[in-house]
């Protein structure tokens, strides 16, 4: 959270090698006690009980990690990141291949259409249902666990859903005033949503895209990699800063290549972490731009062409351990413990000794 090196990497191990062994002797999920309004939403109870059980099993594992215990809001509850578009009148078409994933149909074609926006009340929307889940989860666990925010996009990605990508790019060049007007509205909605989430959970919200942060929230972007620095400085960064000032610490997740934005991002005092994949991002450039002053959550690239993926998971860990000339505030996840330990042994703990793995006696 402080954006400075702390001696090793913050690691989330999932799954842990001894999870099955511990789970075999731990109580069943349906036996996990819940409180308060428990029983009024059976499907939510089942999800929360399973998550609480998984958190207990992780806590009992001898493979200690730095993951912060929190309840996730299932994406099926809120329609994934497309839910903000619903508030602005976009029709949501559920995808047959992935139930709970929606395609938001862009409908604004010209600046005059902005006057036709009739905002849907948050309470009757999918994102409102996520807020309700957060309040429910907080209540039935007696406030003993943090709640991760639902997956949410920032302002320009909200505009991308509402306008469509071609129209968004057209407006950047030819209708900047209209785009700013739309971004203003989206920014106000995002601030409202985050404030509501915190108010319903006594301020215990933490990011869904950062396993090891104890507070704050996350905003995603799949448009960021399409923008130039000047576009970003005009049409995204000022709105993110306003959200941070209104709502507090936050982090950003984005796939693609966008190292060029980091000199702008690092000036935002409320931005505490950036989450990205590599090989898409050049870690040398990331270091040059941040100099260890911004926390990094680095993911192994997936679902991409061969040139953007690692032949073996060990290669990914080896790359992380050798890419930085000195220790940086770094976080990542371990999927295969043997491959991680292999890379660690080869490199004697990594550059600057920042990859020490702790196993409880």
**DSSP characters for 219-258?**
EEESSGGGS-HHHHHHHTHHHHHHHHHHH--EEEEE-S--
What CATH number is associated with residue 302?
3.20.20.210
* 334 found inside a domain: yes
Length of the chain: 361
pLDDT of residue 8: 82
pLDDT of residue 356: 46
Contact 271, 240 (CB under 8 A): yes
* 91 found inside a domain: yes
User: Where in the sequence is the domain holding 277, given as residue range(s)?
Assistant: 10-353
pLDDT of residue 359: 40
pLDDT of residue 353: 42
**How many domains is the chain built from?**
1
* 73 found inside a domain: yes
pLDDT of residue 101: 85
* 77 found inside a domain: yes
Contact 189, 84 (CB under 8 A): yes
Q: Which residues of 66-103 are buried (b: 16+ CB within 10 A; e: fewer)?
A: bbbbbbbbbbebbbbbbbbbbbbbbebeeeeeeeebbe
* 361 found inside a domain: no
pLDDT tens for the chain, 361 residues long, are 998 888 788 999 988 999 999 999 999 999 999 999 999 999 999 999 999 999 999 999 998 899 999 999 999 899 888 888 999 999 999 988 888 888 999 999 999 999 999 999 999 999 999 999 999 999 999 999 999 999 999 999 999 999 999 999 999 999 999 999 999 999 999 999 999 999 999 999 999 999 999 999 999 998 999 999 999 999 999 999 999 999 999 999 999 999 999 999 999 999 999 999 998 999 999 999 999 999 999 999 888 888 889 999 999 999 998 899 888 999 999 999 999 988 988 887 654 344 444 444 3
- Report the distance separating Cα 283 and Cα 279, nearest Å: 8
């Amino acid at each position: 959270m402080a954006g400075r090196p702390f001696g090793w990497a913050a690691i989330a191990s999932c799954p842990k090698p001894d999870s099955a062994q511990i789970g075999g002797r731990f109580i069943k999920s349906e036996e996990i006690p819940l409180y308060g309004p428990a029983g009024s939403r059976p499907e939510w109870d089942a999800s929360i009980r399973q998550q609480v059980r998984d958190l207990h099993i992780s806590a009992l594992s001898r493979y200690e990690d730095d993951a912060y215990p929190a309840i996730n809001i299932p994406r099926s509850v809120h329609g994934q990141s497309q839910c903000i578009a619903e508030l602005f009148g976009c029709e949501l078409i559920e995808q047959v291949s992935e139930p709970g994933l929606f395609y938001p149909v862009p409908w604004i074609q010209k600046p005059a259409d902005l006057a036709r926006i009739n905002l849907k009340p948050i309470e009757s929307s999918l994102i409102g249902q996520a807020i309700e889940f957060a309040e429910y989860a907080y209540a039935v666990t007696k406030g003993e666990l943090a709640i991760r925010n639902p997956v949410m996009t920032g302002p320009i990605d909200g505009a991308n859903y509402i306008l469509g990508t071609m129209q968004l790019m057209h407006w950047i060049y030819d209708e900047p005033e209209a785009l700013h007007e739309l971004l203003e509205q989206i920014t106000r909605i995002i601030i409202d949503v985050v404030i509501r989430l915190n108010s319903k959970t006594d301020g215990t919200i933490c990011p869904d895209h950062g396993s090891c942060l104890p507070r704050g929230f996350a905003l995603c972007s799949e448009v960021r990699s399409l923008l130039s620095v000047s576009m970003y400085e005009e049409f995204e960064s000022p709105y993110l800063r306003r959200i941070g000032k209104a709502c507090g610490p936050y982090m950003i997740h984005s796939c693609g290549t966008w190292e060029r934005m980091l000199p702008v991002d690092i000036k935002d005092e409320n931005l505490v972490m950036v989450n990205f994949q590599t090989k898409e991002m050049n870690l040398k450039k990331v270091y040059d731009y941040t100099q260890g002053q911004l926390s990094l959550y680095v993911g192994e690239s997936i679902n991409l062409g061969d040139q953007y993926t690692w032949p073996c998971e060990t290669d990914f860990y080896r790359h992380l351990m050798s890419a930085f000339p000195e220790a940086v505030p770094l976080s990542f996840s371990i999927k295969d413990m043997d491959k991680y330990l292999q890379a660690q042994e080869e490199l004697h703990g990594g550059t600057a000794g920042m990859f020490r793995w702790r196993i409880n006696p």
